[in-house]
Structure 1
Amino acid sequence: MSPAEAENTGIHCRLDELLVERGMTLTELSGLVGVSVVNLSVLKNDRARAIRYSTLEAICRVLDCQVGDLLVVSD
């Protein structure tokens, strides 16, 4: 098993899609949420191993979405 396969949790983050729908950049989201661009990028690229509920709540509040809109189970 390759490292990429070992990290695949089956959870996909739709952050890119939600940002496009809202006409917002990752940098803008970072400033509004108070999370670094680097950490948001890790989440956006499905490389996050964990996420705090407070971070999820902040992202969802700014993007006006539910957790299920942001994180989905992929096949």
Structure 2
Amino acid sequence: MGEAYNGIAAADLDVVWQKSRYSNSKGNCVEFAPLPNGEVAMRNSRFPDGPALVYTRAEIDAMLLGVKDGEFDHLGTP
């Protein structure tokens, strides 16, 4: 695998994708995969061959801390 970049075809990444156990029965979920260089790729499970966005570990950590703190609760189900 060469250098991963934002918008890379998810199918071009030789990684193991993981989605939340809270994913609904239709499989609609965000999936994450660690990359060999320490970055993290993210894709939409409805489009497994579509684009993957690549984030640094620090960016993922900041997002997870915000989720745990409830900063994004307003985006959930009404």
More strand by share: 2
- Greater Rg, structure 1 or structure 2? 2
More helix by share: 1
Question: Could you say which structure has the greater relative contact order, defined with CA pairs below 8 angstroms and 6 or more residues apart?
Answer: 1
